[in-house]
C-alpha cells in the first residue's frame, strides 16, 4: 500500500513525489496528483515488459486526475516502444487502432520450435499436383521434427473463405486472406505451405510483399496443360470443355483457368518443379527439392 492507501500496480515502479497510482473502472492505470504532495506537475514513468499498462483513446496512460486534456505526462514506454502522444493508425477501413507488441516475439518462437517461419507458396494449374506436393512436403518436415501447416485452396473455402465466390474480386480477396493467414503462421515460427492456383502475378506479389524479404518462397508447378487435363482429378477440365463451368468456377474472364481464363506463370520464382509429358518426378522427389532449398537457406534451424 502506498501513502494514498492504494496498492501499486504490478510491474510499475512507485511514482515520484507528487503522484500516486490507483485503479478505476475505466482505466487500468490512472495517474493523479497527490493533494498533499510536492514535486513537479510532470513525470516520466517506465513500465516493465509484463506491466498491464493500457492507454486511453489518445494513445497515452489515462491521466484524467490531472485535469487537462493534453497533460504534461511526457512518455510511457511499454515493451521498449514509446507511446507518447497520439499515434493511432488507420488501416483500410479500421480506424483508431494500435499495434501491440509482446515480449515473446518471432525470434523466441523460432528458438522454441528449432526452425524459422516462412511461407511456401505453391502455384500452378488445376491438376498440376500442388496439394499432393504440399502433403508430401509436410510429411517430410514432420518426420524431421519440423512444424508445418497447409493452407489448401479448396480447404480454406470450406470455412474462412466460404463467403467468397469465384468472381474476379472474390478471387483476389481469397488470395489476400490466405496471404494474411500465412503471414501469421510464419510469424508464429511455423513453415506455412499455401497451395492455390493463384493465377495472377499481382495477387501473388501482394502476398510476397506482406512478408520480410526471403520469407516468401514461391514454388511453381511447371506442368503442361495437357498433362493437367489428362489427370483432371476433379473432372473440372471436362466440365470446362463442355462449357459447364461458366457462372460457377469463374474468374476475371468468366472462364476456367488454363482453358478460357489465363494463368500467369511466375517470372522469378524461387523454385520451379518442371514436369514434361512422360517425364515427371514423383511428388516425393519434388518435395525433397523444396526441403533441400529450405535447408540451404537455413529455415530448418532457428
138, 148, 198, 251: the active-site residue: 198
HEC letters along the chain: CCCCCCCCCCCECCCCCCEEEECCCCCCCEEEECCCCCCCCCCCEEECCCCCCCECCCCCEECHHHCCCCCCCCCEEECCEECCCCCCEEECCEEEECCCCCCCCHHHHHHHHCCCCEEEEEECCCCCCHHHHHHHHHHHHHHCCCCEEEEEHHHHCCCCCCCCCCCHHHHHHHHHHHHHHHHHHHHCCCEEEEECCCCCHHHHHHHHHCCCCCCEEEEEEECCHHHHHHHCCCCHHHHHHCCCCCCCCCCCCCCCECCCECCCCCCCCCEEEECECCECCCHHHHHHHHHHHHHHCCCCCC
User: What distances in angstroms separate CA 54 from CA 99, 172, 218, 263, 277, one per listed residue?
Assistant: 13, 37, 40, 49, 62
Q: How far apart are CA 120 and CA 219, in angstroms?
A: 7
Phi, psi angle pair for 285, to nearest 5°: -65, -40
Is residue 198 flagged as an active site residue?
A: yes
Known catalytic residues are 198
Amino acid at each position: 500500500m502506498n501513502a494514498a492507501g492504494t496498492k501499486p500496480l504490478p510491474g510499475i515502479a512507485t511514482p515520484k513525489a507528487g503522484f500516486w497510482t490507483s485503479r478505476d473502472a475505466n482505466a487500468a492505470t490512472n495517474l493523479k496528483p497527490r493533494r498533499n504532495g510536492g514535486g513537479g506537475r510532470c513525470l516520466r514513468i517506465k513500465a516493465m515488459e509484463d506491466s498491464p499498462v493500457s492507454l486511453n483513446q489518445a494513445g497515452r496512460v489515462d491521466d484524467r486526475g490531472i485535469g487537462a486534456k493534453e497533460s504534461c505526462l511526457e512518455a510511457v514506454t511499454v515493451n521498449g516502444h514509446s507511446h507518447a502522444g497520439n499515434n493511432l493508425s488507420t488501416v483500410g477501413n479500421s480506424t483508431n487502432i494500435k499495434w501491440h507488441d509482446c515480449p515473446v516475439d518471432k525470434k523466441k518462437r523460432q528458438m522454441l520450435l528449432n526452425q524459422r517461419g516462412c511461407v511456401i507458396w505453391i502455384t500452378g494449374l488445376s491438376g498440376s499436383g500442388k496439394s499432393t506436393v504440399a502433403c508430401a512436403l509436410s510429411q517430410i518436415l514432420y518426420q524431421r521434427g519440423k512444424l508445418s501447416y497447409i493452407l489448401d485452396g479448396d480447404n480454406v473455402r470450406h470455412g474462412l473463405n466460404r463467403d467468397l465466390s469465384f468472381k474476379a474480386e472474390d478471387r483476389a480477396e481469397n488470395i489476400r486472406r490466405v496471404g494474411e493467414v500465412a503471414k501469421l503462421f510464419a510469424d508464429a515460427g511455423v513453415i506455412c505451405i499455401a497451395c492455390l492456383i493463384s493465377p495472377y502475378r499481382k495477387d501473388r506479389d501482394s502476398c510476397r510483399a506482406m512478408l520480410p524479404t526471403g520469407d516468401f518462397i514461391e514454388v511453381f508447378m511447371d506442368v503442361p496443360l495437357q498433362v493437367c487435363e489428362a489427370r483432371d482429378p476433379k473432372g473440372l477440365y471436362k466440365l470446362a470443355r463442355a462449357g459447364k463451368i461458366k457462372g460457377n468456377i469463374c474468374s476475371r474472364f468468366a472462364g476456367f483457368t488454363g482453358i478460357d481464363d489465363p494463368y500467369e506463370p511466375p517470372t522469378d520464382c524461387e523454385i520451379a518443379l518442371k514436369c514434361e509429358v512422360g517425364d515427371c518426378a514423383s511428388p516425393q522427389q519434388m518435395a525433397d527439392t523444396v526441403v533441400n532449398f529450405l535447408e540451404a537457406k537455413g529455415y530448418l534451424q532457428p
